[in-house]
Amino acid sequence: MIARLLGWFGRGERRSGDSGVLALAGLGSLSSNALRQPRTTVAQVDGALLGVVLALVLFGTVMVYSASISLADSPRYAVAPTHFLMRHVMSLAVAFCAAVIAFSIPMSTWQKLAPLAFVVALALLIVLLFPGVGKKALGATRSISLGMFSLQPSELMKVACVLYAANFTVRKQDYMHEFRKGFLPMGAVMALVGGLLLLQPDLGAFGVIVAISMGILFLGGVNVRLFAGISAVLASAFLLVIWLSPWRRARIFAYFDPCSPEQALDKGYQLCTSLISFARGDLFGVGLGRSVGKLSYLPEAHTDFILAVVGEELGLLGVLAVIVLFYWLVKRAFEIGRQAVALERTFAGLVAQGIGLWIGVQAFINMGVATGLLPTKGLTLPLMSYGGSALLSTLAALGILLRVDLENRKLMRGGRA
């Protein structure tokens, strides 16, 4: 199916006369005949990068099914055993189509679209707060219902933030050592986004978006002293937000001793149950599908705590495999970004590194929460957790990453990006 989609987009670009023909980047060398072809074949895909992405997606699909199959017996859901699996597969189909579309757009066009993408994502965050529009779940209003699917604007904002921050850094390259011109405009924009996210509330998404923005500014050459000072102010602001929220403050206190008699059945329940799941898994796990924690003991086992199910069923080796795959993916994204910067394609390079930073930070937070390294916070594991909007935004971003890689290698071969 993916091959046919790629062929369709390739034909569409040839008809429009666009010089940026759809092609997936590959690591192997191309023959002179292939270079002259207006359409790139699936065989030219960057096998290692695409293989790691597909491994995480397929592994995640198996674990989503394993973690959600028991929810059919829960009175909260009352669905068929394959309900979440089928919805996950449909979300993946839409997300892969979005990735192909994102890949087909040249980086020069993405740079022009960056402000518009940010405005659209910001508008969706505002619309979400209108009465009757946002869908409320677990005390938060974070998604807009679209019939069979739900759209989470904060996930789209992550993609928009990567593009906008990279574009801002390129435009303000001569002022990156000044607070007023080099940071203040971006800081004001992030404050606006943060205010909208805190109204949902969604502190986790705000944290990831701040990390993306600050990371891209740092990579773009912002003054080190200015960066350190701003980071200290942001850290203080986050601590203040946590301290002023009684329920967030209670989570922090529960984090220090989640399995104590006072916390085990209250704020520390999720973390305590997650740690029990990891402990049961030991080195090799209890076997695929044999988790006890997912039997209505571990809340959100198919989303926020899917790594705990991996740890229980596949053991330490399964968890290490996931960590290695994410490490390789993030490392590859930064390599692509550095290569683009070396080719004087600063915007593309910052976008690639921003995508790597986004996936790395979010994966680290999710894994840290599940293993007790960090306080409990609701963030999904990229590419693996159940959730349509998260899959859509992440795979679209990876499609852009593949586009950066493609244009890098076309320039190195003497062609045009």
The pair phi, psi for residue 316, each rounded to 5°, is -60, -35
DSSP 376: -
Sign of CA pseudo-dihedral 295, 301, 306, 312? negative
Give the whole-angstrom CA distance, residue 348 versus residue 260: 49
Are residues 18 and 105 in contact, defined by beta-carbon separation less than 8 angstroms? no
For residue 385, give the nearest of 258, 204, 209, 213 by alpha carbon: 204
The pair phi, psi for residue 385, each rounded to 5°, is -70, 155
Residues β-bridged to residue 140: 137
Residue 241 has what pLDDT?
A: 83
Give the whole-angstrom CA distance, residue 380 versus residue 399: 20
Q: Are strands 140-146 and 149-151 parallel, antiparallel or unpaired?
A: antiparallel
Among all chains, which residue has been given the structure tokens 């809340």?
299
Give the whole-angstrom CA distance, residue 214 versus residue 353: 12
Are residues 114 and 105 in contact, defined by beta-carbon separation less than 8 angstroms? no
Peptide bond into 201 cis (omega under 30): yes
Are residues 384 and 306 in contact, defined by beta-carbon separation less than 8 angstroms? yes
Give 240's pLDDT tier (boundaries 50, 70, 90): confident
Residue 185 has what pLDDT?
A: 86
Domain positions in the chain are 114-386
Between 99 and 226, name the one with better pLDDT. 99
| 97-109 per-position pLDDT tens digit | 999 999 999 999 9
- How many Cα atoms sit within 13 Å of 305 on the Cβ side? 30
| 23-72 per-position pLDDT tens digit | 333 333 333 333 344 455 444 567 899 999 999 999 999 999 999 988 87
Are residues 336 and 404 in contact, defined by beta-carbon separation less than 8 angstroms? yes
| 97-151 per-position pLDDT tens digit | 999 999 999 999 999 999 999 999 999 999 988 887 878 776 678 888 877 778 8
Are residues 140 and 248 in contact, defined by beta-carbon separation less than 8 angstroms? no
| 259-295 per-position pLDDT tens digit | 887 787 788 888 999 999 999 999 999 999 999 988 8
- In terms of residues, how long is the chain? 417
For residue 349, give the nearest of 361, 337, 360 by alpha carbon: 337
Give the whole-angstrom CA distance, residue 222 versus residue 220: 6
Residues β-bridged to residue 135: 143
- Which DSSP string corresponds to 41-72? -GGGS-HHHHHHHHHHHHHHHHHHHHHHGGGG
